[in-house]
Chains A and B, each alone.
With several copies, the nearest count.
Chain A
Amino acid sequence: MSLWLKNHKTYLCGLLVIGLLGLAFLPVLAQEATEPPAEAPAAEVAPGEAPAPKIDTGDTAWVLTCSALVLAMTAPGLVLFYGGMVRRKNALGTMMHSFIILCLISVQWVLWGYSLAFGPDKGGLIGGLEWVGLNGVGLDPNPDYAGTIPHQAFMIFQAMFAVITPALIVGAFAERIKFSAFLLFTLLWATFVYDPLAHWVWAVGGWLRNLGALDFAGGTVVHISSGVSALVCAIVLGKRIGHGSEPMPPHNLPLTLIGASMLWFGWFGFNAGSAVASGALATSAFVVTNTATAAAALAWMFAEWAYRGKPTVLGAASGAVAGLVAITPASGFVGPISSIMIGIGAGVICYFAVVMKNSFGYDDALDVFAVHGIGGTWGAIATGLFANPAINSAGKGLFFGNPGQVMTQIMAVAATWILAIVGTFILLKIVDAIIGLRLTREDEQTGLDLSQHSESGYSF
């Protein structure tokens, strides 16, 4: 029996994932059937009739467009960005990580994730199960979150955030994790780290929201949480075989550069969509996102040029991503000139974080911690510095006369670091005990593509 168990661990994990997904599944099916026809969107197809009272067509168009854009950040954005950076033998497997997270968390979010994150508050710490299976999450606006778009539009926009966050982590354990372990870890992490954290920061009643922490589009929830968790993953999993002795150059940098471009493109949805409405605030967020990103790419490139003698393409792409990360929490609070500062800071700080990595000796394969952990932390603090009440009355930073904001930001950062470190560590240990995290030596040498998926990325 125990031998059988050992041999079938991989498969068992599949069942486990299915089981977990299924848990919340059956009870809610009935609910949908009896869901009250609270409003009649069908009216919309009949020409000439007025739309439901409060829904604004422009705002809804914008938020749906943004939801599609944020999806494009994960796939094909991250799929390409990370996929191009690994060695050829791991190309498909690494791409699969991002892609399957999109699938897994899309379902998890509908079944229970949204409810845990945004459902009726329980003590500031977590949402209740009232909205499991989207029960009660209908097509009327929910003024708590967005007063002019259907509640489900807000839900699906948030779904894309829940998707990309664990997908960012995969860069840390690239090229050496078992696929089954990865699946289970992702599902647990989304449920026990991401969902609570999203609640703390964004949900009505969340304790960090109540504290007054500013995080417009997810600097803490998305980037610090994934970046810090990535560091824990890199340390717990250990180095790749040959790390430090063999060269491990990216196998296809054009893919990485396209991925960075798609991330930039999609990030407009991420940041400007976080206004959950079309108009001035969305415009402001759009402008500073573009500006900070550009400045950060230039800053990384020039820093590298000065420090190492050559401006690299991977550097420019990485700098752009660092800029996107850093401007994320600030994007609804700062003006264009401030965004240049934030971008320059991000490019320089993250470049040196990447350089210093080697002296610490952990193998964060694709530098998730340096870019998202450090970049996100810089962005969260910078929000506390540069937030300009003329842009958004909800935020006032140190440079505009509110020194307290920086402290609040630091508290939010610290809380996020702690949750990410503790949560990730525990979950990794659990998954390691059940399935085992790392590939066998032989599988790792063969590569993810053949060992985990029986496929080759390229057949030239």
Chain B
Amino acid sequence: MKKIEAIIKPFKLDEVKEALADIGVLGMTISEVRGFGRQKGHKEQYRGTEYTIEFIPKIKIEVVVPNEKADNAVKVIMNAARTGTIGDGKIFISNLDQSIRIRTGETGESAL
């Protein structure tokens, strides 16, 4: 199994979710993260002071898929999350030893 982690722009979440559902990936876990990279942050000003907020809100999607589905999943995430502007984010893929469904104890791909 592969674990795919995608850091995307927050407003793209719904599209990515739909795209994954379309290819039969029906589970995922997301979290709110903040990213730092090429994309410039924004300025905020409070009375006399100005701050540059360098960390930008992003959504991290974690989705575990069987090996054979990984490439396809990456592809649809990329298509759905892309706006073409800096800061669209990254996809990281790593290997997973095992996955287990807590409710039933099923393991491996049938746990997904």
Contacts and interface: CB of A to CB of B under 8 A. Distances in A.
Determine direct contact between A and B, CB below 8 Å: yes
Contacts of A455: 44-46
Given A312-B46, A314-B46, A450-B42, A247 B51 contact: yes
A5 interface: no
B46 A358 contact: no
B67 to A, nearest CB: 33
A358 B49 CA distance: 8
A450 B49 contact: no
A445 interface: yes
A241 to B, nearest CB: 9
Interface string A433-446: 00000000000011
Given A247-B53, A450-B42, A454-B43, A354 B14 contact: no
A445 B51 contact: no
Contacts of A65: none
A141 interface: no
A456 interface: yes
Contact of B51 (A249, A315, A354, A356): A249
Given A246-B14, A445-B11, A357 B44 contact: no
A364 to B, nearest CB: 10
Main SS class of interface, B: strand
Contacts of A445: 11
Q: Range of interface residues on chain A? A: 20 to 34
B24 interface: no
B47 interface: yes
Interface residues of B, number: 13
A434 B45 CA distance: 28
A381 to B, nearest CB: 23
Contact of A250 (B46, B48, B53): B46
A6 interface: no
Nearest to B42: A450
Contacts of A246: 14
Which of B43, B46, B49 has the most C-beta atoms of chain A within 10 angstroms of its own C-beta?
B46
A250 B44 CA distance: 11
A367 B47 CA distance: 9
Nearest to B32: A460
A15 interface: no
Which of B49, B50, B53 has the most C-beta atoms of chain A within 10 angstroms of its own C-beta?
B49
Given A245-B14, A247-B51, A446-B42, 7 more contacts: A304-B45, A310-B45, A314-B47, A315-B47, A355-B48, A454-B43, A454-B45
7 contacts: A247-B53, A308-B45, A310-B45, A314-B47, A446-B42, A454-B43, A454-B45
Of all A-B residue pairs in the complex, the 8 with the closest CB atoms, nearest first, are: A247-B51, A354-B48, A355-B48, A354-B47, A454-B45, A358-B48, A357-B48, A454-B44
